[in-house]
Amino acid sequence: MSVINLDHMSANPLLPEVQEAMIAAIRENLGNPSSQHRLGERAAELLDESRAAVAALVNASVSREIVFTSGGTEAVNLAIKGVAWAKSDEGKGKHIVTSNIEHNAVIRSLRRLKLMGFTVTSVPVDERGRVNPETVAKAIRPDTILVSIMHGNNEIGTIQPVKEIAAVCKEKKVLYHCDAVDTVGVLPVDVQEMGVDLLSFASNPFYGPTGVGGLYVRRGVPIWSLFDGGVQENRKRAGTENLVGIAGMAEAARLAARDMGARAAHTRKLRDLFLSKLPEYLSDYGINGDPENCLPNLVSVSVHHVEGESVVLMLDDEGFAVSTRSACASGSLRASHVLLSTGLGFADCQGTLVITFGIDNTEAEVMKFLAALKTSVTTLREISPLYKNGQGVPQ
Amino acid sequence: MSVINLDHMSANPLLPEVQEAMIAAIRENLGNPSSQHRLGERAAELLDESRAAVAALVNASVSREIVFTSGGTEAVNLAIKGVAWAKSDEGKGKHIVTSNIEHNAVIRSLRRLKLMGFTVTSVPVDERGRVNPETVAKAIRPDTILVSIMHGNNEIGTIQPVKEIAAVCKEKKVLYHCDAVDTVGVLPVDVQEMGVDLLSFASNPFYGPTGVGGLYVRRGVPIWSLFDGGVQENRKRAGTENLVGIAGMAEAARLAARDMGARAAHTRKLRDLFLSKLPEYLSDYGINGDPENCLPNLVSVSVHHVEGESVVLMLDDEGFAVSTRSACASGSLRASHVLLSTGLGFADCQGTLVITFGIDNTEAEVMKFLAALKTSVTTLREISPLYKNGQGVPQ
């Protein structure tokens, strides 16, 4: 069965040009960029070119501010743990500020650091999922060494006021790491204009391969490696490079820089179509996130009186891929911490679908999906003890 | 200029079958193995199959004992730091035993841990580069939590008595990590027969892609993740997987399991040819390592009265790729810690070449190389103040 993919957040398809760049790197049989002889020259050249392309995408002032990683999760872990260890080794303190709606890579990196003697303050968000920069300012203490607050949220799409948060951090002389995994290559991201010290990203959100990502580290920011060994990646990440993946990410970065606007316009059109037609297909639902500051490709909809997991499974049977949350968190039965943080009730959290559009989706697919969604929800509500005669039963 | 590669340790070419497996994974546009819907099914299946192939190569008792990593360096860092943190969190102590001839990934991981309050004892090796298991036994203290001693050395090729070291560790109830990056897929490696608790490896030494590797973690061994976030890799390594690389490593593992014996016989024949002919081409040299227990594809030769770096550059001009040491350590001007540990003098360390043969080398290439080596060394000695009238000048 051909499947209509409305879960691009889990896995974007590789662009044809990205596939070709990776295949060329495979066929070329590149050497080792660290070699002393000419067999490594082409590899070193490809690595340099790739770093320049990725640096350009986020407007790093020099290429060597980009550290290639094995993905967004590694980048986030390197940023948070690397800075925490380096700063605490300098005796600057062990306190970190974050928000209640971060990705698990951030939350669990911080949980790990707590086991190592660090302390964490997590600031709340409003009902739209926005962090207030003033709350961040109040949370910063004399022993605060790092603030880690994301750019675009992967479950509700809310864009944070990163520039304002960065200004607070700069004033308080605290380093700022921004998890921008779901915005780099999707929306314009300019590390200099934003004023961040560290910024994590991954290649797949802009149609590059999985298992590749990067971390922007502003020159002079102290950071310990997660991997010690060789002197690769400007001594910030030891180990022979994944050149095939890096070549793919670089090509994806070049294309994203060129096509990002058109892609966002396309998914925004599909998103708007979906939202405008939804009332004709569904009753009793709520849209999560911030309608004014949001990712252009994501809709989070809480369908009352149903279980999201059941909807996902029914839609899967009908050939539609959607999600209840990020793939990284799937398998967990707990309600989304992001939705709970916005004040949503437990039952509505469980009834939430995350729909992420991609450049390969069409308006016709959106219309088909709306019809399938209606059928699934109607069927599930009919068999639910929580929903009788067209309305929810008070619990 | 076509280059004769005698530096396979830096970068092995990808086998055609490995290239095809990677290209198939690229073309298939796999989903996310953690997805809740069918778009992730094929990805999850490929991941399972790949894990089984790699588990079989090292004879892990169950597939889930294999953690996929971004290479040997990550695997080593995960093993050493992960176990150190987990064991010290259990209050078992902070002392680690290693040897003087480990790879930089091991040495520098341990150096990092020292900054975090751990202590390290490094045991010496004999002139052949062998660790004595009795010395390991004596180095183990009541607060020792881990022993990390490699399998095959990447600079001199010496194979350590891993089974005997593992028996010592088992008796003393200390976990044993073995860095087997240069032996897995090259020689038979059986984690159960060896009795190791953790074993690091990489894909490129057996003609798979760079940037991919793995760590065997015996069931029940306590280990903290380097990357926290999602629940991938049996909760030992968060982050969306590099499926293209993993597919390549798995195919390389299948081929290595089948062809390892024939490959070793081929490179051993070239190695023997080189060593038997060398006296006709060169005087004043020494062969490093243990002639009885060595990698089948490596020769370390210390050419007296020359600089190895100069030989490498001259040979590069003539179309031969060789190395003075591992690519990870290139750029360093310091003498090799491995050679110094075997008792070699500083000058001889600087005159050392590491030649690593591969399945693509031929006897004719070895003969061409011998001639070129003779020319380079003769030329360099002629212009050297340390070598006059056919012999070295006492320094």
B204 Cβ under 8 Å from any chain A Cβ:
yes
Residues in chain A, pLDDT under 50: 328
The verdict on a CB contact (< 8 Å) between A104 and B238 is yes
Residues ≥6 apart with Cβ < 8 Å to A392: A284, A304, A305, A386
Structure confidence at residue A335 (pLDDT): 83
Q: Which CATH number fits domain A4-10+260-392: 3.90.1150.10, 3.20.20.70, 3.40.50.410, 3.50.50.60?
A: 3.90.1150.10
Q: Amino acid identity of B212?
A: V
Report the chain B residue with the minimal C-alpha distance to residue A29: B13
The CATH number of B16-255 is: 3.40.640.10
Residues 213 through 232 of chain B touching chain A, CB cutoff 8 Å = 224-232
Q: Strand (E) positions, A149-218?
A: 175-179, 198-202, 213-217
Between positions 137 and 196 of A, the ones with CB within 8 A of B are none
CA distance A309 to chain B (A): 8
Single pTM value for the model: 0.95
The whole-number pLDDT of residue B89 equals: 84
Q: Which residues of chain B have pLDDT under 70?
A: 1, 326-333, 386, 389-395
Q: How far apart are alpha carbons A110 and A115 in whole angstroms?
A: 9
- The pLDDT of residue A329: 54
How far CA A223 is from CA of A77, A116, A162, A218, in Å, comes to: 11, 17, 21, 10
pLDDT reported for residue B38 = 82
Nearest Cα of chain B lies from the Cα of A116 at a distance, in angstroms, of 9
Domains in chain A: boundaries: 4-10+260-392, 16-256
Establish if A349 touches chain B: CB-CB under 8 angstroms: no
CA distance A171 to chain B (A): 30
SS3 A346: helix
Measured between beta carbons, the chain A residues lying within 8 angstroms of B3 are 37-39
φ and ψ at B375, to 5 degrees? -60, -50
Nearest to B70 by CA among B254, B245, B198: B245
Sheet containing strand A352-356, edge to edge, reads: A285-288, A298-303, A352-356
Helix pair B308-317, B363-382: axis angle to 10 deg: 120
Q: Choose, out of A7, A22, A46, A70, the residue to mutate when testing the contact with B (most B CBs < 10 Å).
A: A70
Q: Do residue B103 and residue A212 have CB atoms under 8 angstroms apart?
A: no
* Model ipTM value: 0.94
Give the residue from chain A lying closest to B73, CA to CA. Answer: A239
DSSP annotation of A291: S
Of A32, A77, A225, the CB nearest to B227: A77
Q: Which of A39, A210, A239 sits opposite B73 (nearest CB)?
A: A239
Distance CA A6, CA B173 (A): 52
Helices (H) and strands (E) in chain B, counts: 13, 14
Tell me which fold the domain A16-256 belongs to: Aspartate Aminotransferase; domain 2 (3.40.640)
Q: Return the beta strands (E) in chain A as ranges.
A: 4-5, 66-69, 95-99, 119-123, 144-148, 175-179, 198-202, 213-217, 285-288, 298-303, 320-321, 352-356, 387-388, 391-392
* B73 close to A (CB below 8 A): yes
Query: How many beta carbons lie within 10 A of that of residue A20, not counting itself?
Result: 15
**Residue B350 CA: distances (Å) to CA of B105, B307, B345:** 22, 6, 9
**Tell me, what's the pLDDT at B29?**
78
Interface touch A32/B327, C-beta < 8 Å: yes
Residues of B annotated as catalytic are 328
